[in-house]
Amino acid sequence: MLLKYFYDEKLAQASYLVGCSATGEALVIDPARHITPYLRAAEKEGLRITHVTETHIHADFVSGSLELAGATGATIYLSDMGDADWKYAYANDTNVILVRDGDSWKVGNVKVDVLHTPGHTPEQIAFQITDTAGADRPIGIFTGDFLFVGDVGRPDLLEEAAGLAGTKEVGARQQFATVQRFKEMADYLQIWPGHGAGSACGKALGAIPSTTLGYEKLFNPAFQFEKESEFVAWLLSDQPEAPFYFAQMKKVNKIGPALLRALPLPTNFDRATLDAVIEDGGQIFDLRNRGQFAATHAPGAVNIPADNSGFVTWIGWLVDYERPVYVLLPSIDSEQAILRDLHSIGIDYIPGYFSPEVLSHRTQALPVITARQLAQRLPLNGLQILDVRGKGEYADKHIVGARHIPLGYLPQRLAELPKDRTIITLCASGYRSQIAASLLQAAGFEDVLSLNEGEECWSRFLPTESGASN
Protein backbone atom coordinates (compact mmCIF):
# COMPACT_ATOMS: atom_id res chain seq x y z
CA MET A 1 0.00 0.00 0.00
CA LEU A 2 1.16 3.50 -0.89
CA LEU A 3 -0.18 6.74 0.63
CA LYS A 4 0.37 10.24 -0.79
CA TYR A 5 -0.74 13.46 0.92
CA PHE A 6 -1.70 16.64 -0.94
CA TYR A 7 -2.40 19.96 0.80
CA ASP A 8 -3.70 23.29 -0.46
CA GLU A 9 -2.52 25.90 2.06
CA LYS A 10 -4.84 28.58 0.70
CA LEU A 11 -7.91 26.46 1.44
CA ALA A 12 -6.36 24.40 4.28
CA GLN A 13 -7.66 21.38 2.35
CA ALA A 14 -6.17 17.90 2.30
CA SER A 15 -6.61 15.14 -0.26
CA TYR A 16 -5.04 11.73 -0.56
CA LEU A 17 -3.92 9.09 -3.03
CA VAL A 18 -3.96 5.46 -1.88
CA GLY A 19 -2.27 2.98 -4.20
CA CYS A 20 -1.72 -0.75 -4.42
CA SER A 21 1.77 -1.45 -5.71
CA ALA A 22 0.88 -5.08 -6.50
CA THR A 23 -1.87 -4.24 -9.02
CA GLY A 24 -1.00 -0.64 -9.92
CA GLU A 25 -4.47 0.63 -9.00
CA ALA A 26 -5.01 3.85 -7.07
CA LEU A 27 -7.79 5.71 -5.27
CA VAL A 28 -7.94 9.50 -4.79
CA ILE A 29 -9.96 10.80 -1.85
CA ASP A 30 -11.46 14.33 -1.80
CA PRO A 31 -9.59 15.59 -4.89
CA ALA A 32 -9.29 19.30 -5.56
CA ARG A 33 -10.38 20.71 -8.90
CA HIS A 34 -6.81 21.11 -10.18
CA ILE A 35 -5.91 17.46 -10.79
CA THR A 36 -2.37 17.69 -12.19
CA PRO A 37 -0.71 16.84 -8.83
CA TYR A 38 -2.60 13.52 -8.63
CA LEU A 39 -1.81 12.59 -12.22
CA ARG A 40 1.88 13.33 -11.74
CA ALA A 41 2.09 11.43 -8.45
CA ALA A 42 0.37 8.39 -9.93
CA GLU A 43 2.66 8.42 -12.98
CA LYS A 44 5.74 8.74 -10.79
CA GLU A 45 4.70 5.72 -8.73
CA GLY A 46 3.67 3.65 -11.73
CA LEU A 47 0.00 3.71 -10.75
CA ARG A 48 -3.22 4.32 -12.64
CA ILE A 49 -6.07 6.16 -10.94
CA THR A 50 -9.00 3.73 -11.09
CA HIS A 51 -11.17 4.99 -8.23
CA VAL A 52 -12.19 8.46 -7.04
CA THR A 53 -14.27 9.31 -4.00
CA GLU A 54 -15.21 12.12 -1.65
CA THR A 55 -16.40 12.22 1.92
CA HIS A 56 -19.30 14.65 1.42
CA ILE A 57 -20.68 17.51 -0.66
CA HIS A 58 -17.96 20.05 0.04
CA ALA A 59 -18.72 23.63 1.04
CA ASP A 60 -15.30 25.24 0.84
CA PHE A 61 -13.84 24.22 -2.52
CA VAL A 62 -14.92 22.81 -5.88
CA SER A 63 -14.57 19.04 -5.92
CA GLY A 64 -12.28 17.52 -8.53
CA SER A 65 -14.01 14.12 -8.65
CA LEU A 66 -15.66 14.69 -12.03
CA GLU A 67 -12.52 16.33 -13.41
CA LEU A 68 -10.29 13.47 -12.33
CA ALA A 69 -12.68 10.71 -13.44
CA GLY A 70 -13.03 12.41 -16.82
CA ALA A 71 -9.27 12.47 -17.28
CA THR A 72 -8.59 8.90 -16.12
CA GLY A 73 -11.77 6.90 -16.69
CA ALA A 74 -11.94 6.16 -12.96
CA THR A 75 -15.12 5.08 -11.20
CA ILE A 76 -16.57 7.62 -8.75
CA TYR A 77 -17.88 6.44 -5.36
CA LEU A 78 -20.37 8.87 -3.76
CA SER A 79 -22.33 8.90 -0.53
CA ASP A 80 -25.94 7.77 -0.70
CA MET A 81 -26.55 8.73 2.93
CA GLY A 82 -28.52 11.73 4.14
CA ASP A 83 -31.94 12.90 3.00
CA ALA A 84 -33.18 13.92 -0.45
CA ASP A 85 -31.72 17.43 -0.11
CA TRP A 86 -28.20 16.01 0.08
CA LYS A 87 -28.01 13.67 -2.88
CA TYR A 88 -25.68 14.23 -5.84
CA ALA A 89 -27.49 15.31 -9.00
CA TYR A 90 -25.11 13.23 -11.15
CA ALA A 91 -25.51 10.08 -9.04
CA ASN A 92 -27.04 8.18 -11.96
CA ASP A 93 -24.06 8.68 -14.28
CA THR A 94 -22.73 5.37 -15.61
CA ASN A 95 -19.35 5.75 -13.88
CA VAL A 96 -20.83 6.51 -10.44
CA ILE A 97 -21.40 3.97 -7.66
CA LEU A 98 -23.42 5.04 -4.62
CA VAL A 99 -22.29 3.74 -1.24
CA ARG A 100 -23.81 3.52 2.21
CA ASP A 101 -22.67 2.70 5.71
CA GLY A 102 -21.19 -0.80 5.79
CA ASP A 103 -20.41 -0.99 2.08
CA SER A 104 -16.90 -1.76 0.89
CA TRP A 105 -14.79 -2.11 -2.23
CA LYS A 106 -11.19 -2.90 -3.04
CA VAL A 107 -8.43 -0.99 -4.78
CA GLY A 108 -6.12 -3.85 -5.61
CA ASN A 109 -5.29 -5.36 -2.22
CA VAL A 110 -6.51 -2.29 -0.32
CA LYS A 111 -9.96 -2.68 1.21
CA VAL A 112 -12.10 0.44 1.67
CA ASP A 113 -14.94 0.27 4.22
CA VAL A 114 -17.59 3.00 4.30
CA LEU A 115 -18.56 4.52 7.66
CA HIS A 116 -21.48 6.95 7.85
CA THR A 117 -20.29 9.88 10.00
CA PRO A 118 -23.12 12.46 9.97
CA GLY A 119 -22.96 15.71 11.90
CA HIS A 120 -20.97 18.11 9.77
CA THR A 121 -23.39 17.23 6.97
CA PRO A 122 -26.07 14.52 6.76
CA GLU A 123 -24.35 12.59 3.95
CA GLN A 124 -20.80 12.72 5.37
CA ILE A 125 -18.95 9.40 5.19
CA ALA A 126 -15.47 8.24 6.19
CA PHE A 127 -13.27 5.55 4.65
CA GLN A 128 -11.59 2.89 6.76
CA ILE A 129 -8.56 1.37 5.03
CA THR A 130 -7.14 -2.14 5.39
CA ASP A 131 -4.03 -3.30 3.55
CA THR A 132 -5.13 -6.92 3.10
CA ALA A 133 -1.78 -7.93 1.62
CA GLY A 134 -0.24 -7.86 5.07
CA ALA A 135 -2.97 -7.25 7.63
CA ASP A 136 -6.44 -8.37 8.64
CA ARG A 137 -7.24 -5.20 10.58
CA PRO A 138 -7.52 -1.57 9.37
CA ILE A 139 -4.59 0.82 9.47
CA GLY A 140 -6.57 4.06 9.57
CA ILE A 141 -9.50 6.20 8.51
CA PHE A 142 -9.91 9.10 6.12
CA THR A 143 -12.34 11.17 8.17
CA GLY A 144 -13.10 14.05 5.81
CA ASP A 145 -14.80 16.85 7.75
CA PHE A 146 -15.95 14.71 10.67
CA LEU A 147 -12.75 14.43 12.70
CA PHE A 148 -9.80 16.82 12.55
CA VAL A 149 -6.66 17.10 14.63
CA GLY A 150 -7.99 18.62 17.86
CA ASP A 151 -11.49 19.33 16.60
CA VAL A 152 -14.59 18.00 14.82
CA GLY A 153 -16.50 19.45 11.90
CA ARG A 154 -18.97 22.22 12.59
CA PRO A 155 -22.66 21.30 12.15
CA ASP A 156 -23.97 24.80 11.45
CA LEU A 157 -22.82 25.35 7.86
CA LEU A 158 -26.12 24.15 6.39
CA GLU A 159 -27.85 26.85 8.39
CA GLU A 160 -25.23 29.59 8.18
CA ALA A 161 -24.16 29.14 4.56
CA ALA A 162 -26.92 27.21 2.82
CA GLY A 163 -29.81 28.87 4.67
CA LEU A 164 -31.41 25.66 5.96
CA ALA A 165 -32.90 26.91 9.21
CA GLY A 166 -33.13 24.56 12.19
CA THR A 167 -30.44 22.15 11.04
CA LYS A 168 -27.48 23.04 13.23
CA GLU A 169 -28.76 21.48 16.47
CA VAL A 170 -29.80 18.34 14.63
CA GLY A 171 -26.31 18.17 13.14
CA ALA A 172 -24.68 18.73 16.52
CA ARG A 173 -26.61 15.81 17.98
CA GLN A 174 -25.61 13.63 15.04
CA GLN A 175 -22.01 14.68 15.58
CA PHE A 176 -22.23 13.61 19.22
CA ALA A 177 -23.48 10.16 18.17
CA THR A 178 -20.66 9.85 15.63
CA VAL A 179 -18.08 10.73 18.27
CA GLN A 180 -19.55 8.06 20.56
CA ARG A 181 -19.20 5.52 17.75
CA PHE A 182 -15.53 6.40 17.31
CA LYS A 183 -14.89 6.16 21.06
CA GLU A 184 -15.49 2.42 20.72
CA MET A 185 -12.94 1.99 17.92
CA ALA A 186 -9.28 1.01 18.32
CA ASP A 187 -6.86 3.65 19.59
CA TYR A 188 -4.09 2.67 17.17
CA LEU A 189 -6.06 3.76 14.08
CA GLN A 190 -4.44 6.54 12.14
CA ILE A 191 -6.64 9.52 11.34
CA TRP A 192 -6.24 11.40 8.06
CA PRO A 193 -8.49 14.50 8.13
CA GLY A 194 -9.83 16.59 5.27
CA HIS A 195 -8.64 19.95 6.61
CA GLY A 196 -5.97 21.59 8.73
CA ALA A 197 -5.52 24.83 10.65
CA GLY A 198 -7.11 27.82 8.95
CA SER A 199 -10.18 26.03 7.63
CA ALA A 200 -13.59 27.50 8.50
CA CYS A 201 -15.05 23.96 8.70
CA GLY A 202 -14.21 23.89 12.42
CA LYS A 203 -13.19 26.31 15.13
CA ALA A 204 -9.85 25.02 16.41
CA LEU A 205 -8.23 22.72 13.86
CA GLY A 206 -4.66 21.64 14.51
CA ALA A 207 -1.83 22.18 12.04
CA ILE A 208 -0.44 18.63 12.24
CA PRO A 209 -1.37 16.71 9.06
CA SER A 210 -2.46 13.48 10.79
CA THR A 211 -3.13 11.99 14.20
CA THR A 212 -4.30 8.79 15.87
CA LEU A 213 -7.71 8.03 17.26
CA GLY A 214 -6.19 7.30 20.65
CA TYR A 215 -4.56 10.72 20.78
CA GLU A 216 -7.83 12.42 19.86
CA LYS A 217 -9.65 10.50 22.56
CA LEU A 218 -7.19 11.92 25.07
CA PHE A 219 -6.91 15.52 23.93
CA ASN A 220 -9.65 16.45 21.45
CA PRO A 221 -12.32 18.43 23.39
CA ALA A 222 -15.10 16.69 21.44
CA PHE A 223 -14.21 13.35 23.05
CA GLN A 224 -14.38 14.69 26.61
CA PHE A 225 -18.16 15.07 26.83
CA GLU A 226 -20.43 12.37 28.23
CA LYS A 227 -23.66 14.37 28.05
CA GLU A 228 -25.16 15.18 24.66
CA SER A 229 -26.54 18.56 25.79
CA GLU A 230 -23.14 19.76 26.98
CA PHE A 231 -21.50 18.59 23.76
CA VAL A 232 -24.11 20.40 21.63
CA ALA A 233 -23.65 23.65 23.57
CA TRP A 234 -19.88 23.44 23.21
CA LEU A 235 -19.94 22.59 19.51
CA LEU A 236 -22.32 25.37 18.53
CA SER A 237 -20.50 28.08 20.51
CA ASP A 238 -17.74 30.31 19.14
CA GLN A 239 -17.78 28.97 15.60
CA PRO A 240 -16.13 31.36 13.11
CA GLU A 241 -18.15 33.23 10.53
CA ALA A 242 -19.04 31.01 7.58
CA PRO A 243 -17.83 32.53 4.28
CA PHE A 244 -20.66 33.40 1.91
CA TYR A 245 -19.14 31.39 -0.93
CA PHE A 246 -19.79 28.16 1.00
CA ALA A 247 -23.42 28.22 -0.18
CA GLN A 248 -22.25 28.45 -3.78
CA MET A 249 -19.85 25.54 -3.30
CA LYS A 250 -22.61 23.34 -1.88
CA LYS A 251 -24.72 24.13 -4.93
CA VAL A 252 -21.91 23.55 -7.44
CA ASN A 253 -20.70 20.32 -5.86
CA LYS A 254 -24.18 18.91 -5.53
CA ILE A 255 -25.01 19.59 -9.19
CA GLY A 256 -21.52 18.77 -10.45
CA PRO A 257 -19.01 21.45 -11.47
CA ALA A 258 -18.13 22.29 -15.05
CA LEU A 259 -14.98 20.65 -16.36
CA LEU A 260 -12.05 23.04 -16.52
CA ARG A 261 -11.27 22.15 -20.12
CA ALA A 262 -14.76 23.38 -21.06
CA LEU A 263 -14.18 26.88 -19.66
CA PRO A 264 -13.25 29.71 -22.05
CA LEU A 265 -9.75 31.13 -21.66
CA PRO A 266 -9.63 34.66 -20.21
CA THR A 267 -8.23 37.48 -22.36
CA ASN A 268 -5.31 39.75 -21.48
CA PHE A 269 -7.15 43.07 -21.77
CA ASP A 270 -5.74 46.54 -22.36
CA ARG A 271 -6.38 49.87 -20.64
CA ALA A 272 -9.30 50.74 -22.90
CA THR A 273 -11.16 47.66 -21.68
CA LEU A 274 -10.30 48.49 -18.07
CA ASP A 275 -11.78 51.98 -18.56
CA ALA A 276 -14.93 50.44 -20.03
CA VAL A 277 -15.25 48.02 -17.10
CA ILE A 278 -14.78 50.91 -14.64
CA GLU A 279 -17.43 52.99 -16.39
CA ASP A 280 -19.82 50.05 -16.26
CA GLY A 281 -19.24 49.53 -12.52
CA GLY A 282 -17.67 46.15 -13.14
CA GLN A 283 -16.31 43.76 -10.54
CA ILE A 284 -12.54 44.28 -10.39
CA PHE A 285 -10.19 42.67 -7.88
CA ASP A 286 -6.66 44.07 -7.71
CA LEU A 287 -4.39 41.26 -6.47
CA ARG A 288 -1.19 43.28 -6.08
CA ASN A 289 0.38 43.81 -2.68
CA ARG A 290 -0.82 46.41 -0.21
CA GLY A 291 1.94 48.93 -0.88
CA GLN A 292 1.44 48.85 -4.64
CA PHE A 293 -2.31 49.31 -4.36
CA ALA A 294 -2.04 52.09 -1.78
CA ALA A 295 0.28 54.00 -4.12
CA THR A 296 -1.85 53.71 -7.25
CA HIS A 297 -4.86 51.75 -8.41
CA ALA A 298 -7.84 51.86 -10.73
CA PRO A 299 -10.97 53.54 -9.33
CA GLY A 300 -13.54 50.96 -8.28
CA ALA A 301 -11.06 48.13 -7.74
CA VAL A 302 -11.05 46.14 -4.50
CA ASN A 303 -7.63 45.13 -3.23
CA ILE A 304 -7.25 41.49 -2.13
CA PRO A 305 -3.48 40.88 -2.20
CA ALA A 306 -2.54 37.44 -3.53
CA ASP A 307 0.60 37.36 -1.37
CA ASN A 308 -1.50 36.25 1.62
CA SER A 309 -2.60 32.63 2.02
CA GLY A 310 -6.14 33.77 2.87
CA PHE A 311 -6.77 35.70 -0.32
CA VAL A 312 -8.85 32.94 -1.95
CA THR A 313 -11.21 32.85 1.03
CA TRP A 314 -11.60 36.63 1.03
CA ILE A 315 -12.44 36.72 -2.65
CA GLY A 316 -14.99 34.02 -1.88
CA TRP A 317 -16.50 36.25 0.80
CA LEU A 318 -16.78 39.28 -1.47
CA VAL A 319 -17.31 38.01 -5.01
CA ASP A 320 -20.67 38.15 -6.79
CA TYR A 321 -20.86 34.85 -8.67
CA GLU A 322 -23.60 36.21 -10.93
CA ARG A 323 -21.38 38.95 -12.40
CA PRO A 324 -18.20 38.72 -14.50
CA VAL A 325 -14.96 38.91 -12.54
CA TYR A 326 -11.95 40.89 -13.73
CA VAL A 327 -8.60 40.69 -11.96
CA LEU A 328 -5.53 42.85 -12.04
CA LEU A 329 -2.61 40.47 -11.67
CA PRO A 330 0.45 41.06 -9.46
CA SER A 331 2.51 40.21 -12.57
CA ILE A 332 1.70 38.80 -15.97
CA ASP A 333 3.48 35.53 -15.19
CA SER A 334 1.12 34.89 -12.26
CA GLU A 335 -1.84 34.31 -14.59
CA GLN A 336 -2.01 30.51 -14.40
CA ALA A 337 -1.58 30.31 -10.63
CA ILE A 338 -4.22 32.98 -10.03
CA LEU A 339 -6.73 31.33 -12.37
CA ARG A 340 -6.18 28.01 -10.59
CA ASP A 341 -6.94 29.66 -7.27
CA LEU A 342 -10.09 31.34 -8.58
CA HIS A 343 -11.33 28.14 -10.20
CA SER A 344 -10.75 26.29 -6.92
CA ILE A 345 -13.75 28.11 -5.44
CA GLY A 346 -15.85 28.14 -8.60
CA ILE A 347 -15.05 31.61 -9.92
CA ASP A 348 -15.34 30.61 -13.57
CA TYR A 349 -16.95 33.72 -15.08
CA ILE A 350 -13.66 35.49 -15.85
CA PRO A 351 -13.75 37.29 -19.22
CA GLY A 352 -10.23 38.58 -18.74
CA TYR A 353 -7.43 40.01 -16.66
CA PHE A 354 -5.14 43.04 -16.63
CA SER A 355 -1.42 43.39 -16.06
CA PRO A 356 -0.04 46.19 -13.84
CA GLU A 357 1.10 48.07 -16.96
CA VAL A 358 -2.47 49.30 -17.55
CA LEU A 359 -2.15 51.63 -14.55
CA SER A 360 -0.52 54.43 -16.52
CA HIS A 361 -3.28 57.00 -16.01
CA ARG A 362 -6.63 57.64 -14.31
CA THR A 363 -5.56 56.16 -11.00
CA GLN A 364 -5.99 57.02 -7.36
CA ALA A 365 -4.23 56.32 -4.06
CA LEU A 366 -5.47 54.76 -0.85
CA PRO A 367 -4.35 56.77 2.20
CA VAL A 368 -2.88 54.79 5.09
CA ILE A 369 -2.18 55.72 8.69
CA THR A 370 -0.04 54.28 11.47
CA ALA A 371 -1.17 53.58 15.02
CA ARG A 372 1.14 56.31 16.35
CA GLN A 373 -0.33 58.85 13.92
CA LEU A 374 -3.85 57.83 14.90
CA ALA A 375 -2.99 58.16 18.61
CA GLN A 376 -1.86 61.74 17.96
CA ARG A 377 -5.42 62.54 16.86
CA LEU A 378 -6.94 61.59 20.22
CA PRO A 379 -9.70 62.21 21.15
CA LEU A 380 -11.09 60.62 18.02
CA ASN A 381 -13.67 63.32 17.35
CA GLY A 382 -14.83 63.31 13.74
CA LEU A 383 -13.34 59.86 13.17
CA GLN A 384 -15.06 56.50 12.88
CA ILE A 385 -12.85 53.54 13.75
CA LEU A 386 -14.09 50.47 11.84
CA ASP A 387 -12.85 47.12 13.18
CA VAL A 388 -13.30 44.43 10.50
CA ARG A 389 -11.99 41.42 12.43
CA GLY A 390 -14.08 38.42 13.43
CA LYS A 391 -16.48 38.50 16.36
CA GLY A 392 -14.16 36.53 18.64
CA GLU A 393 -11.20 38.79 17.92
CA TYR A 394 -13.26 41.89 18.58
CA ALA A 395 -14.67 40.54 21.84
CA ASP A 396 -11.19 39.72 23.09
CA LYS A 397 -9.84 43.24 22.57
CA HIS A 398 -10.77 46.31 20.55
CA ILE A 399 -10.21 50.05 20.49
CA VAL A 400 -12.63 51.96 22.68
CA GLY A 401 -15.45 53.33 20.55
CA ALA A 402 -14.65 51.22 17.50
CA ARG A 403 -17.53 50.13 15.29
CA HIS A 404 -17.47 46.40 14.52
CA ILE A 405 -18.45 44.97 11.15
CA PRO A 406 -16.61 41.76 10.14
CA LEU A 407 -15.05 42.19 6.71
CA GLY A 408 -17.16 39.54 4.99
CA TYR A 409 -20.38 41.33 5.96
CA LEU A 410 -19.21 44.84 5.07
CA PRO A 411 -20.76 45.04 1.55
CA GLN A 412 -24.21 44.32 3.02
CA ARG A 413 -23.82 46.89 5.82
CA LEU A 414 -22.41 49.94 4.06
CA ALA A 415 -25.53 51.96 4.87
CA GLU A 416 -24.63 51.77 8.57
CA LEU A 417 -21.49 53.85 8.05
CA PRO A 418 -21.31 57.65 7.96
CA LYS A 419 -20.15 59.41 4.81
CA ASP A 420 -19.54 62.71 6.63
CA ARG A 421 -16.77 61.37 8.87
CA THR A 422 -13.29 60.00 8.30
CA ILE A 423 -13.41 56.21 8.47
CA ILE A 424 -10.28 54.37 9.61
CA THR A 425 -10.29 50.62 9.05
CA LEU A 426 -8.27 48.21 11.19
CA CYS A 427 -7.73 44.49 11.76
CA ALA A 428 -5.14 42.20 13.33
CA SER A 429 -2.41 42.65 10.73
CA GLY A 430 -3.40 45.35 8.25
CA TYR A 431 -4.41 42.87 5.53
CA ARG A 432 -8.18 42.85 6.08
CA SER A 433 -8.01 46.54 6.94
CA GLN A 434 -6.78 47.39 3.46
CA ILE A 435 -9.36 45.15 1.78
CA ALA A 436 -12.06 46.97 3.76
CA ALA A 437 -10.70 50.43 2.98
CA SER A 438 -10.48 49.63 -0.73
CA LEU A 439 -14.03 48.29 -0.67
CA LEU A 440 -15.31 51.46 1.00
CA GLN A 441 -13.43 53.64 -1.45
CA ALA A 442 -14.84 51.67 -4.38
CA ALA A 443 -18.33 52.11 -2.90
CA GLY A 444 -18.00 55.91 -2.92
CA PHE A 445 -16.71 56.69 0.56
CA GLU A 446 -14.33 59.58 -0.07
CA ASP A 447 -12.60 59.94 3.31
CA VAL A 448 -11.15 56.52 4.16
CA LEU A 449 -7.80 55.52 5.66
CA SER A 450 -6.40 52.08 6.32
CA LEU A 451 -4.52 51.47 9.53
CA ASN A 452 -1.67 49.49 8.02
CA GLU A 453 -0.34 48.05 11.29
CA GLY A 454 -1.63 45.20 13.37
CA GLU A 455 -3.02 44.67 16.84
CA GLU A 456 0.41 44.60 18.45
CA CYS A 457 0.87 48.24 17.44
CA TRP A 458 -2.58 49.77 17.84
CA SER A 459 -3.18 48.13 21.22
CA ARG A 460 -0.02 49.84 22.45
CA PHE A 461 -0.91 53.35 21.34
CA LEU A 462 -4.71 53.44 21.68
CA PRO A 463 -7.11 52.71 24.56
CA THR A 464 -8.68 49.24 24.35
CA GLU A 465 -11.44 47.27 26.02
CA SER A 466 -13.06 43.83 25.80
CA GLY A 467 -16.60 42.74 25.10
CA ALA A 468 -18.82 41.63 22.21
CA SER A 469 -20.23 44.10 19.72
CA ASN A 470 -23.88 45.08 19.86
Set 20, 201, 427, 457: catalytic member: 427
Alpha helices (runs of H) in 96-150, residue ranges in sequence order? none
DSSP, residue by residue, 112-133? EEEEE--SSSTT-EEEEEEETT
Rounded distance between C-alpha atoms, residue 391 and residue 379, angstroms:
25
CA–chain centroid gap for 429, Å, is 20
Could you tell me if 51 and 105 are in contact, meaning their C-beta atoms sit under 8 angstroms apart?
yes
HSE of 291, CA atoms in CB hemisphere, 13 A: 1
Q: What are φ and ψ of residue 280, in 5° steps?
A: -85, 0
Q: Which of 321, 337, 184 is nearest to 248 (CA)?
A: 321
Please confirm, yes or no, whether 427 is among the known catalytic residues.
Answer: yes
Q: Which residues of 203-228 are buried (b: 16+ CB within 10 A; e: fewer)?
A: bebbeeebbebebbbeebebbebeee
Q: In Å, how far are 370, 373, 375 from 462, measured between CA atoms?
A: 11, 10, 6
Which residues are bridge partners to 115 per DSSP? 126
Alpha helices (runs of H) in 237-285, residue ranges in sequence order? 245-255, 271-279
- For the chain, the residue count is 470
SS3 percent helix, strand, coil of the chain, rounded to 5, is: 35, 25, 45
Could you tell me if 352 and 285 are in contact, meaning their C-beta atoms sit under 8 angstroms apart?
no
Could you tell me if 299 and 364 are in contact, meaning their C-beta atoms sit under 8 angstroms apart?
yes
Helices 228-236/168-183 angle, 10° precision: 120
Residue type, 347: I
Q: What are φ and ψ of residue 390, in 5° steps?
A: -70, 165
Residues with catalytic roles: 427
